[in-house]
């Protein structure tokens, strides 16, 4: 097993950094950023779980936050793989924020070969959906 890192492109959104942070802080909103392969979604403000169609069940919880800068989400111990998702925020102007998503996964060499493309795609989809989200 080895840690593999993925980073989305940066997106600019026309909302305050406070609003963007509040959106990422509430894990109920994470569903709005997920691709169609995510099914059976359940969430609270602090945690969420879902199935990746035909693959695995994933449970996540908020682990750490830095107001207006970072929301860190980690996988719960029962997950088949160890995941960490970081929503990063940078204030640009009073009403413009830059956001990007980072994902770290602990993957076997075989899983790394199979999952690297889909995981990179996931962080980019999440970033793109942040541009479309209603804050």
Contact (CB, 8 A) for 88 and 73: no
For the domain that residue 35 is a member of, what is the CATH number? 3.30.530.20
Q: What is the pLDDT of residue 4?
A: 94
What average pLDDT does range 99-111 have in this prediction? Answer: 94
How many other CB atoms sit within 10 Å of the CB of residue 79?
16
Among 2-11, 25-34, 112-121, the range scoring the smallest mean pLDDT is: 112-121
Contact (CB, 8 A) for 126 and 11: no
Residue 111 has pLDDT above 90, yes or no: no
Who contacts 109 (Cβ-Cβ below 8 Å, separation ≥6)?
2
Q: What is the pLDDT of residue 11?
A: 97
How many domains are there within the chain? 1
Who contacts 57 (Cβ-Cβ below 8 Å, separation ≥6)?
40, 49, 50, 51, 79, 80
Q: What is the pLDDT of residue 44?
A: 98
Q: What is the pLDDT of residue 134?
A: 82
pLDDT tens readout for residues 58-104: 999 999 999 999 999 999 998 888 999 999 999 999 999 999 999 99
Domain range enclosing 57 = 2-132
Q: What is the pLDDT of residue 35?
A: 93
pLDDT tens readout for residues 18-54: 999 999 999 999 999 999 999 999 999 999 999 988 8
């Amino acid at each position: 097993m080895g840690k593999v890192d993925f980073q989305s492109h940066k997106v600019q959104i026309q909302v305050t950094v406070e609003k963007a942070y509040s959106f990422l802080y509430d894990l109920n909103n994470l569903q709005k950023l997920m691709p169609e392969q995510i099914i059976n979604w359940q969430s609270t403000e602090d945690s969420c779980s879902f199935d990746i169609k035909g693959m695995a069940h994933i449970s996540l919880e908020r682990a750490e936050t830095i107001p207006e800068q970072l929301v860190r989400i980690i996988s719960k111990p029962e997950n088949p793989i160890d995941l960490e998702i970081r929503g990063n925020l940078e204030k640009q102007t009073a009403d413009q924020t830059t956001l990007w998503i980072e994902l770290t996964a602990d993957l076997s060499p075989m899983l790394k070969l199979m999952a690297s493309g889909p995981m990179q795609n996931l962080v980019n989809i999440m970033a793109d959906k942040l541009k479309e989200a209603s804050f």
